[in-house]
A and B are shown apart, each in its own frame.
Chain A
Amino acid sequence: MATTDTLRPMGHSEPKDERLARIQKSLRRRRSAETRFRIYGMSAVAIACGFVLFLFGSIMHDGLPAFWQPALQVKVTFSPDVVKVAPKPEQAPGQSPAEFQRASLDWQREVTMVNWNRVIQDAVQAAAPDVKLTPRDVQAVVSPNQRFKLRDMFVENPGLLGQTVDVSLLASANADVWLKGNIDHSLGDDRQQLSGAARQLIDRLYENGTIKMVFSTVLFTNADSRGASAEAGLLGAFIGSLYMMIIVIVLAVPIGVASAIYLEEYAPKNKLTDLIEVNINNLAAVPSIVFGLLGAAVFINYFRLPLSAPLAGGLVLTLMTLPTIIIATRNSLKAVSPSIRQAALGLGASKTQMVFHHVLPITYPGIMTATIIGVAQALGETAPLLLIGMNAFVATVPTTPLDQATALPVQIFLWEGNENRNFFEPRTAAAIIILLVVMLLLNAVAIYLRSRFERRQ
């Protein structure tokens, strides 16, 4: 038959060794192409790793020291000469609760009026008996709000009157800067933030062990503070972020997943759904600040939600996260093998049964990952929050999502712009470390949930 000719191997007339030589030559070429490609790949990875290591290294280097801050370990005497107050009122037999409350408040006001700075000065003096202290020097060394710490101790326990107890008083931000060498010690007096006497006092107290570096718990227990920078913390911003995350999870996940299911499984394929699909994809690429503008216009101006409230912030971040969740959920729905759908339909399952009994469970890990990526993205978002007033200075920890609050990244932004740069630069780095840790934890949760869901199938 005629076909047998064409079936013969090509180049059958060529001598065998010539063929081998040609194959070897092409093999050499392929191998060197492969090596070259591997080198490209490895150098790309190396460069990326280098940058990441540099970034983490520099943040760690700057931020880790900020987790420790100086505190004065002093013996505080609640001397009756200074703490001149009447005994704490007790509930008298015939007294109404309202009257008692009023008496208590009056007493507390009296306690607040005590010259606590004097108590602190006496305590510091006791730690450095040979130095002649002025009130100004002491106040420059001890963080201003520490006097309220003593007041609170006394309110809590009036029995302290006349007693001497060990107290740890946080040093001021400027003392922190000086001790950590974050300001040049050789600068002249006119360019230092602390007077010469205060600097000497600090050095003296540090040498004699009165000032120690302690773990900075205020970073985790306090809200932001302007008056006492050394006591500024992240709790307020953290709670703000937490509220927003909860709002995002509660709103964006159900709405996003439901839209994705509808669009992917039920919606007819026509011009309108095509348009919606294109727009959702585009929304995912809209700069986040635009969502902030939208939020300001809709939630603040139209719905009159309070400014700076995590509720408004959470709604804005929900809008921003929705496209991410919709797209990721649709992709995982698309990825479910058609054979599972056929199996369910072939058994007589309705479309809804097919989706909810068989398709959706397979996509849980995907949806979970998408959610956590979306939430992490929202957690790290700053720009849209600035437009709804979440960059306000808030010195209290919000108790409800309607209270004023900031968010972790916004707090970082605010600290980075603080005028006391020498103190706040390391604090900012510390805040970044905390934010990164929160992100890593979220990712760890995502990986854990993902592997759990996958194991179940």
Chain B
Amino acid sequence: MNVMTPAEAEAEVARTVKQRDGEKFQTIRTPDAQPRQIRVKAEDVNVFYGQKQALFNVSIDIPEKAVTAFIGPSGCGKSTFLRCINRMNDTIDGARVDGLIALDGEDLYDPKLDVVELRARIGMVFQKPNPFPKTIFENVAYGPRIHGLARSKSELEEIVVTSLKKASLFEEVKDRLYEVGTGLSGGQQQRLCIARAIAVSPEVILMDEPCSALDPIATAKVEELIDELRENYTIVIVTHSMQQAARVSQRTAFFHLGVLVEEGPTDMVFTSPKEKRTQDYITGRFG
């Protein structure tokens, strides 16, 4: 440990600075120039699928009330990292996560932590719309029901209606709340999934390419919705479309081959990236 490479030395310095500055470091700047509280913090996260390593030493801070976008070529580990945040990787056989991920300073991989409670605090929207084959009402009511969030039937109904409204779906489905959710169009299904996630009032919402299965009009609606949700939630979105990242996010993280190459305010990453690889990706050289 006596000899350090320059990179290691730099990392060592950064770590000490972080430790020393403590509280001060807990905020981050977004393009609207407001300092934001950090909600999710990852440090040196490595993920393995069996023998294969999928993520290498990823460290990132995710601020509240903003949209953080993960971009990068397919297979670079965006989804893998997203799944680390609500421990969905636990459900994959052979997946192993090490490093530190914390929500409001609380270690998410603490063995004493209840995963079920964690997932009520960190909601997830998946790439392919996956409503339950039940009624629209049941889809949205399911989360609050299992977590015991509503004390009465009317309270539950209120939660369902509010969530559908927040997901801008209520007007379209108010006459058919008791029809199956799988009968909706793709875009409506995805907004239903968002409503379902919102219904448990999570603090963070993770979205894994939520628009990749949608047509442009549905995509626009979902993007608009994400922008509205930003007011109240911490949102992390994986997208393969750089335009989408530019449209909806305040911060962008670029992943390549399992490494977090660069991360910063979205306009900075897109206009003046620090790394050559980011530059190449954004200008369409690869990916």
| Chain B positions within 8 Å of A337 at CB level | 130
From A269, A339, A342, give the contact of B88 (CB < 8 A): A342
Residue of A nearest to B125 (CB): A346
Are A346 and B116 CB-contacts (below 8 A) given A269-B93, A340-B132, A457-B133?
no
Q: Does B120 interact with chain A (Cβ within 8 Å)?
A: yes
Task: Please choose the segment from A89-97, A156-164, A348-356 that sits at the chain B interface, where 4 or more of its residues have CB less than 8 A away.
Answer: A348-356
From B88, B131, B146, give the contact of A349 (CB < 8 A): B146
CA–CA, A341 and B193, complex, Å: 14
Query: Per-position contact with B for A329-369: 1 when CB-CB < 8 Å, else 0?
Result: 00000000101111111111110010001100110000000
| Chain B positions within 8 Å of A347 at CB level | 119-120, 123, 142-143, 146, 196-197, 200
| Chain B positions within 8 Å of A344 at CB level | 132
A348-B88 in contact (CB<8A): no
Least CB distance, A109 to chain B, in whole angstroms: 68
CA–CA, A345 and B116, complex, Å: 8
Least CB distance, A334 to chain B, in whole angstroms: 14
Least CB distance, A457 to chain B, in whole angstroms: 4
Least CB distance, B204 to chain A, in whole angstroms: 12
Query: Per-position contact with A for B165-203: 1 when CB-CB < 8 Å, else 0?
Result: 000000000000000100000000000010011001000
Q: Does B36 interact with chain A (Cβ within 8 Å)?
A: no
A348-B119 in contact (CB<8A): yes
| Chain A positions within 8 Å of B197 at CB level | 346-347
* A interface bracket (residues with beta carbon within 8 Å of B): 20 to 34
For residues 95 through 151 of chain B, which have their beta carbon under 8 Å from a beta carbon of chain A? 116-120, 123-124, 126, 128, 130-134, 142-143, 146-147
CA–CA, A346 and B131, complex, Å: 12
Residue of A nearest to B118 (CB): A348
CA–CA, A345 and B196, complex, Å: 13
Residue of A nearest to B119 (CB): A348
| Chain B positions within 8 Å of A349 at CB level | 116, 142, 146
A358-B132 in contact (CB<8A): yes
| Chain A positions within 8 Å of B120 at CB level | 347-348
CA–CA, A350 and B128, complex, Å: 22
CA–CA, A347 and B132, complex, Å: 12
From B91, B128, B133, B147, give the contact of A348 (CB < 8 A): B147
Residue of A nearest to B130 (CB): A339
Would you call the interface of chain A mostly helix, strand, loop, or mixed?
Answer: helix
Are A346 and B146 CB-contacts (below 8 A) given A339-B128, A362-B133?
no
From B124, B128, B133, B147, give the contact of A346 (CB < 8 A): B124
Q: Does B86 interact with chain A (Cβ within 8 Å)?
A: yes
| Chain A positions within 8 Å of B88 at CB level | 342, 345-346
A457-B143 in contact (CB<8A): no
CA–CA, A343 and B91, complex, Å: 12
| Chain A positions within 8 Å of B146 at CB level | 347-349, 353, 357
B130-A340 in contact (CB<8A): yes
A350-B116 in contact (CB<8A): yes
CA–CA, A269 and B197, complex, Å: 31
Residue of A nearest to B182 (CB): A457
Are A345 and B119 CB-contacts (below 8 A) given A339-B126, A357-B142, A457-B180?
yes
B193-A348 in contact (CB<8A): no
| Chain B positions within 8 Å of A345 at CB level | 88, 91, 119
CA–CA, A42 and B117, complex, Å: 59
For residues 187 through 235 of chain B, which have their beta carbon under 8 Å from a beta carbon of chain A? 193, 196-197, 200
CA–CA, A347 and B144, complex, Å: 9
From A341, A346, A357, A362, give the contact of B86 (CB < 8 A): A346
A346-B132 in contact (CB<8A): no
| Chain A positions within 8 Å of B91 at CB level | 341-342, 345
B143-A348 in contact (CB<8A): yes
CA–CA, A344 and B142, complex, Å: 9
CA–CA, A343 and B197, complex, Å: 9
CA–CA, A456 and B210, complex, Å: 28
| Chain A positions within 8 Å of B130 at CB level | 337, 339-340, 342-343
Least CB distance, B161 to chain A, in whole angstroms: 18
| Chain B positions within 8 Å of A339 at CB level | 126, 128, 130
Query: Per-position contact with A for B70-93: 1 when CB-CB < 8 Å, else 0?
Result: 000000000000000010100101
Interface centre among A339, A343, A358, A457 (most CB of B within 10 A): A343
Interface centre among A344, A348, A362 (most CB of B within 10 A): A348
CA–CA, A28 and B117, complex, Å: 64
Least CB distance, B193 to chain A, in whole angstroms: 7
Least CB distance, B34 to chain A, in whole angstroms: 30
| Chain B positions within 8 Å of A362 at CB level | 133
Residue of B nearest to A457 (CB): B133
| Chain A positions within 8 Å of B86 at CB level | 346
5 other A-B residue contacts (CB within 8 Å) besides A269-B93, A349-B116, A361-B133: A342-B130, A347-B123, A348-B200, A349-B142, A350-B116
Binding site for B on A (CB under 8 A): 269, 337, 339-350, 353, 357-358, 361-362, 457
Interface CB pairs A-B, < 8 A, 7: A337-B130, A339-B126, A342-B91, A343-B126, A343-B196, A347-B119, A457-B134
